[in-house]
Amino acid sequence: MFLVRFYNKLSPFKRVLLALFLGISIGIIVGEPAGNLEILGTAYIRLLQMTVLPYVLVSIIGGLGRLDSHMAGRIGLKAVRVILIVWLSVMLMLVLLPLAYPNWETSGFFSTSLVMEPTKFNFVDLYIPSNIFSSLANTVVPAVVLFSLLMGVSLISVKNKDSLLDLTHSLGDTLMGVASFVAKLAPFGIFAISVSAAGTLNPEELGRLQVFLWVYLVAAFMLGFIFLPLILHWATPFSYRQILSVSGEAVITALATGTVLVVLPMIIDRCKEMLKEKNMDCDETMSTVDVMVPTAYSFPSTGTLLGLGFILFSAWYVGSPLSIDQYPSFITMGVLTAFGSMAVAIPFMLDFFGLPADQFQLYLLGSVVTARFATALAALHGFVVTLLVASAVIRVLKWHRMFQAIALHLGITAGVMLLMGQALTYLIPYEYEGAKSFESMQLMDKPVAIKNVKQFQPLTQEQLAQSRLDVIIQRKVLRVGYFSNTLPYAFRNNKAQLVGLDMEIINELARDLKVNIEYTHIKKRGDEITMLNDGRIDIVIGGHAITPDGAIDAVYSDPYQHNTVGLIVKDINRDNYSTMSKIHDLENLTFAVPKNDYYLRVAKEFFPNAKILGIKNAREFFKGAHKEVDALIYSVEIGSAWSILYPKYTALVPQGMKFKVPIAYKLPKDQADLVFYINNWLSLKSDAGFIKRSYNYWIMGKNPSKKQPRWSVLRNVMGWDI
């Protein structure tokens, strides 16, 4: 009974806050079993979402319809001015964030985003609905808002509109009643959501992004507790304490649910209450609230714009921070692309500034944390912008005080970021570990017996007369030849073991043949043909690209992979090579390509104005043996692996360059049985997912090892097996 009385005495905001902290605490204690409560949290979110879009529709139509044309124009002009000022202020704050970034060196594995076409941003699909019912069904909020705005504006001039206005008012009240009832369940829904998230989130997954996350969280704190409430407090009659206390329930609910959509009715209701408390309630301000809250939601919010700070982080992370002359483009393009989702905006901005597309994967990883804070800021943004516009409409907004608050905030931000930069440099010791991690990689599956042989003996005439497949099975040994500088397909790790994608596949092949592996290093290109045909080796590995010349002397297996041709360039120069048009504008270029007549011709076709130089191997280029070479034409899958060892380089695919090469194994000629078996075996393993699993590990760096249960108090401290 005491707990019930205590709970009843709490305000709605305190109940939500209590539920959030209890959920996080219990999730940490229980661990992954707490994830079973996710279904309850999902049910609560669905209940919240149920009434939102219908309410947005009727509130905008009814809110605008009650206005005359003069009042509607005043609201529109004030809204545009306020929103533009807020956007510019947030973007100016973002350009100060790099002051907090230390100087680190990094690189990464290949990502499929390197070869993806840049996402086309389509304002028409987002804002102009061809079918409003489809937009409602698919939650395309901007399209619904635009339709509602047009309907509301048209309704202003309709003469007999009272019955329709009464209907929208009644529907709005009914939907608000349903939303209010659901909102009473907020503590229980938020408890289920927070306990599930805290129980399943693995903090170790966010280690690579700790600098971005720390800077993001500090920036979010400053926006939420300084910028947004400060400009409203300084420029309007509302107090700082009132702003935070009234908006708190909606902000926490948005934080817990991960969406602002569900709290729009709550924001509208609380804004109207605040206006009434200050005797600012009238038809103009009430209509402003009805129109501005859903409209502000469909436009970029403070939380959305803060996410664009990842572009600045990404530029720093790859060692090429944006220059000052790029900041105007960042501010302009950032606001424009933020009209869509971050899934569209981030890849577009990465491409626009010539940053590695695989950085988007880092953004997605960090969004596990940042997305919730973005929604919380978006909820507060809705409050602040709506009340600023409402105050401007009735001429109580002090514009000069608003600009003073913005200037103060930017000054504070610059100081905080400078201090934070010093703190992060001191508190987070960093050493580039990419090369060490790559060189320590081992085969995923337990290897068969593997032996290094300096020199094999050719097969006897009697053995050469037999099927090579029969010889391998009878000998119980598969002889493998490999070349140097063929990572990530075949290379020696820091334990002198021969590993790589091809060794992973060959190990599986040997296991299925029930044989062991003996391998030898082939020192000279061309020797492998003789060694294959005289029986010293049975197969050549190392990520060999099929070429017309190579197919004359040896037999290739069916391709087990297709690599994408791109460029390997120094990080600091990659922007110059982001598109084929940029490359064609450059003069006196020298490109290198692995020495092969076929690929020399292909390179010349792509870059007719460049000097093409054939080199023995990639390592020469990375070690700087060819200082006159501007870029290496190479597989980006392979080049990404090399860039881990040489992080000053990066792999990229210029827009407009489309060329793939098939990768296969070299096999002896006139050995149909062996070729037929290898091809069928590769097809079988591809269908079974083994080839893909190996590719993900060795090319994309995805460790397939079984995920360990997340740390929890009950399992790790108390020893309970739950």
Which pLDDT band holds residue 503 (cuts at 50, 70, 90)? very high
The residue with tokens 């600009």 is 403
For β-strands 539-545 and 649-652, DSSP reports them as unpaired
What span, in angstroms and rounded, lies between the C-alpha atoms of 288 and 64? 8
Mean pLDDT of the chain: 84
Report the CATH number of the 2-97+127-427 domain.
1.10.3860.10
- Is it the case that residue 198 has pLDDT exceeding 70? yes
Predicted pLDDT of residue 492: 93
What span, in angstroms and rounded, lies between the C-alpha atoms of 164 and 171? 10
Predicted pLDDT of residue 203: 59
Q: Which CATH number applies to 437-559+668-698: 2.20.25.90, 3.40.190.10, 3.30.160.70, 3.40.50.1820?
A: 3.40.190.10
Partners of 482 in beta bridges: 521, 541
**The residue type at 167:** L
Lowest mean pLDDT among 261-270, 379-388, 435-444: 261-270
Provide mean pLDDT across the span 148-168.
85
Backbone angles phi, psi at 108, to 5 degrees: -155, 175
Helix (H, G, I), strand (E, B) or coil at 407: helix
Q: Which CATH architecture has domain 565-662?
A: 3-Layer(aba) Sandwich (3.40)
Which pLDDT band holds residue 320 (cuts at 50, 70, 90)? low
- Is it the case that residue 36 has pLDDT exceeding 80? yes
Q: Rounded to the nearest 10 degrees, how much is the dihedral formed by the CA atoms of 638, 529, 550, 692?
A: -40
Provide mean pLDDT across the span 229-233.
92
Predicted pLDDT of residue 537: 94
Pick the more confident residue, 706 or 316. 316
Which residues of the chain form CATH 3.40.190.10? Answer: 437-559+668-698, 565-662
pLDDT digits (tens, 9 = 90+) for 531-566: 999 999 999 999 999 988 888 878 999 999 999 999
Predicted pLDDT of residue 119: 53
- Is it the case that residue 208 has pLDDT exceeding 60? no
pLDDT digits (tens, 9 = 90+) for 647-703: 888 888 888 888 999 999 999 998 999 999 999 999 999 999 999 999 999 998 887
- Give the relative orientation of helices 210-222 and 399-427 as an angle to the nearest 10 degrees: 150
Query: In 3D, which of 83, 61, 71 has the Cα closest to residue 393?
Result: 71
3-state SS, 548-565, equals HHHHHHCEECCCCEEEEE
Which residues of the chain form CATH 1.10.3860.10? Answer: 2-97+127-427
Please classify residue 297 by burial: count the beta carbons closer than 10 Å to its beta carbon, then call 0-12 exposed, 13-18 middle and 19+ buried: buried
What span, in angstroms and rounded, lies between the C-alpha atoms of 305 and 296? 13
What span, in angstroms and rounded, lies between the C-alpha atoms of 129 and 49? 21
- Give the relative orientation of helices 240-257 and 228-235 as an angle to the nearest 10 degrees: 150
- Is it the case that residue 442 has pLDDT exceeding 60? yes
| Highest-pLDDT range among 240-249, 364-373, 448-457, 574-583 | 448-457
For β-strands 477-482 and 491-492, DSSP reports them as unpaired
Alpha carbon 23 to its chain centroid, in Å, reads 27
Q: Quick check: 510 and 457 in contact, CB under 8 A?
A: no
Provide mean pLDDT across the span 223-251.
90
What span, in angstroms and rounded, lies between the C-alpha atoms of 231 and 540? 69
- Is it the case that residue 3 has pLDDT exceeding 70? no
Which pLDDT band holds residue 508 (cuts at 50, 70, 90)? very high
What span, in angstroms and rounded, lies between the C-alpha atoms of 430 and 444? 28
Residue 608, CA distances (Å) to 13, 585, 587 in order: 67, 12, 11
Predicted pLDDT of residue 716: 66
Q: Quick check: 532 and 540 in contact, CB under 8 A?
A: yes
Task: Report, in angstroms and rounded to the nearest whole number, the Rg of the chain calculated over CA atoms.
Answer: 31
Predicted pLDDT of residue 118: 57
- Is it the case that residue 204 has pLDDT exceeding 70? no
Partners of 591 in beta bridges: 612, 631
- Is it the case that residue 35 has pLDDT exceeding 70? yes
Predicted pLDDT of residue 541: 95
Predicted pLDDT of residue 344: 66
Lowest mean pLDDT among 44-48, 117-121, 341-345: 117-121
Q: What percent of the chain has pLDDT over 90?
A: 35
- Sequence-distant (≥ 6) Cβ neighbours of residue 51 within 8 angstroms: 175, 178, 179, 182, 265
- Is it the case that residue 408 has pLDDT exceeding 80? yes
| Highest-pLDDT range among 195-199, 224-228, 325-329 | 224-228
| Highest-pLDDT range among 71-75, 699-703, 708-712 | 699-703
Pick the more confident residue, 574 or 155. 155
- Is it the case that residue 380 has pLDDT exceeding 70? yes
Q: Quick check: 676 and 468 in contact, CB under 8 A?
A: no
Query: In 3D, which of 102, 96, 658 has the Cα closest to residue 414?
Result: 96
Predicted pLDDT of residue 557: 94
Lowest mean pLDDT among 107-121, 367-381, 457-471: 107-121
- Is it the case that residue 207 has pLDDT exceeding 60? no
What span, in angstroms and rounded, lies between the C-alpha atoms of 111 and 344? 17
Residue count of the chain, please give it.
722
**The residue type at 190:** I
Q: Quick check: 511 and 523 in contact, CB under 8 A?
A: no
- Is it the case that residue 88 has pLDDT exceeding 90? yes
Pick the more confident residue, 211 or 591. 591
Q: Quick check: 515 and 478 in contact, CB under 8 A?
A: yes
Helix (H, G, I), strand (E, B) or coil at 651: strand
- Residue 684: count of CB within 10 angstroms of its CB: 12
Predicted pLDDT of residue 399: 92
